[in-house]
Structure 1
């Protein structure tokens, strides 16, 4: 009983730490965001680096918070040779909102600040839309099938517009994050899909293909990340209360240019059925290997008990 009260107290203090740290860094980020509106390219590039620096310090303080209150042991492999001066596409399995904290912590200072593709409508969210724009989160221009049926001339325009929006990454290193499963894993979702995997949901190729179609020539390496929680999938509250004793992270580095050059992924992905099948088959095989890795990690835990 006493230990539960103490862990809950630590969790509450930790959440306050996250809140005040976010509030502290949000202020300079919003101030820099307004300055970045000045349409001078060199100035905007300088502000982008400054803003990424703020985001990196935000993650560093969050990590200190985790060390103080959560005391989770992070066991990460495959981080050798990574650089904040390179261009990455990062994909991962997705089980909990804690995954984002884990990814931010593991990759902080090792690769550029993680960014997500966002729907273009989100740019109008008060304050946050401006902050996301200033932090160079790419905004997707996607047209619905219904609209394309009415206006066929718009076909391919969404990818072209997004590609233009990502031109700034030619000179500025970036890490684009994509949860390939599209949603967090639950046993209900896995069963509903027919239990194709023991520890994963089926991968969705569309989102990853859109990123590669828009930025394939700019991105250099694919980081295939596998996150495993030995004690089971945690909630955010579990994490801040220190109930997550260990997190295991495996990182495998693949070449995106090899993926493109051997025709596993092609620019005609969205128009060529055979190309889509080929890429989806490659991604499914990647996910099958990830499922085997997760099974091995689960068996390793059982042997250590």
Structure 2
């Protein structure tokens, strides 16, 4: 435990260990990615993809080790016992900080397959990590402005096609598709600007989840609905590295996914779209109540 060190020193050491850990596993991942790029044949990929996913899982395990060594964070995790590693899951979570990703990876690693995120297309150019995301088959989505979509509605097909291509690969190996339905991190300012009807959440955006369900929804075992609470205040990534996040709470529940959302046409079926939004709104109301209960229990 490094709790006796000043926060800045803990943060610097944590960042250094994170960087070294990332570079070490990325070097192995890049070697596998090179083989994947040069030999994109189904027989090769069938053997290669599990190794690539295992490398990402090992990176996460090492992150968990140094976080527990460097920090005195009190973890409270509920509802993960019934998850199975060899199933397909759609994972949904509220979004408050970049720390959320580390929390989810720490709590779910080894219980469900490696989390795969929908990412902005520009992130593929991030040094080191961008290539790692490509090797792991993360879906890269182009985010078009409303003006561009009004001018050329066919641009909507870009994200849909990208999601379907990615999910076609996911169908071959057990996968967890991760989605932050709010689309951005929660802040009081965003909450007020949206006039959000929820106390602790921003309004959910249905598009990415609908695309994932349309692409491979029938294969998902369930929706893993995760709720994260930081009773002592939402930490920035730097504060988390410094060990200034005393308590982290995570509540997980599995929800059935209605079959019609997996087989229907979300874009063109207005009745189905309304039904999907009602379903998501019910989930969000329950999540808001769960988050309020978690914060009250921790007070």
TM-score (norm 1): 0.88
In structure 1, distance between residues paired with 2:146 and 2:263: 21
Q: Which moved more, 1:239-248 or 1:119-128?
A: 119-128
* Aligned match of 2:228: 227
Select between 47-56 and 136-145 the one with higher mean Cα deviation.
136-145
**Structure 1, residues 146-186: CA drift from partner, whole Å, max 9, x if none?**
77777778875753564244222222100010000000000
Q: Following superposition of structure 1 onto structure 2, how do residues 197-208 of structure 1 map, counting pairs within 5 Å?
A: 197-208=198-209
Distance 1:239 1:154 in 2: 39
Shift of 1:25: 0.9
User: 2 CA distance for matches of 1:42 and 1:146?
Assistant: 43
Aligned partners of 1:139 and 1:93: how far apart in 2?
21
Segment drifting more, 135-144 vs 151-160: 151-160
The equivalences for 1:213-292 within 5 A come to: 213-256=214-257, 259-260=258-259, 263=260, 267-292=264-289
Give 3-state SS (helix, strand or coil) of 1:250's partner.
Answer: strand
Instruction: Pick which of 34-43 and 224-233 moved more.
Output: 34-43
**8 Å CA contact retained: 1:222, 1:255:** yes
- CA distance 1:240–1:153, shift in 2 (3 Å): closer
Alignment gaps of 5+ in structure 2: none
Q: What CA deviation, in whole Å up to 9, does each residue of 1:177-217 have, x standing for no partner?
A: 00000000001111112141111111111111111112213
Cα deviation for residue 79 of structure 1 reads: 0.6
Instruction: Report if aligned partners of 2:90, 2:177 keep a CA contact under 8 Å in 1.
Output: yes
Unpaired runs of 5+ residues, structure 1, are none
- Partner in structure 2 of residue 171 of structure 1: 172
Match of residue 296 from structure 1: 293
Which residue of structure 2 lines up, in the alignment, with residue 99 of structure 1? Answer: 100
Aligned-partner Cα distance in 2 for 1:239–1:119? 24
> 2:164–2:212: 8 Å Cα contact kept in structure 1?
no
Q: Is the 8 A contact 1:95 1:186 kept in 2?
A: yes
Instruction: Give 1:62 deviation, angstroms.
Output: 0.6
**C-alpha contact (below 8 Å) 1:269/1:276 kept by paired residues:** yes
Structure 1 SS opposite 2:85: coil
Answer yes or no: is the 8 Å Cα contact 1:91–1:222 preserved in 2: yes
Range that drifts further, 218-227 or 148-157: 148-157
Aligned-partner Cα distance in 1 for 2:199–2:147? 36
CA RMSD of aligned residues (A): 2.5
If you compute each CA radius of gyration, which structure gives the higher value, 1 or 2? Answer: 1
1:128 and 1:10, CA in 2 relative to 1: closer, same or farther beyond 3 A? Answer: closer
Offset of residue 287 of structure 1? 0.6
User: How far apart in 1 are the matches of 2:11 and 2:88?
Assistant: 36
Rate the CA distance shift 1:296–1:127 in 2: closer, same or farther, 3 A. closer
Instruction: Give deviations 1:1-47, integer Å, cap 9, x for gaps.
Output: xx896222112111111011011111111111001121221211211
Q: Calculate the TM-score normalised by the size of structure 2.
A: 0.89
Q: Find the residue that maps to 1:58 and give its secondary structure.
A: helix
- Distance in 2 (CA, whole Å) between partners of 1:29 and 1:55 is 8
Are 1:64 and 2:79 matched, yes or no?
no
Contact 1:75/1:247 (CA < 8 Å) preserved in 2? yes
In structure 1, what is the equivalent of residue 44 of structure 2? 43
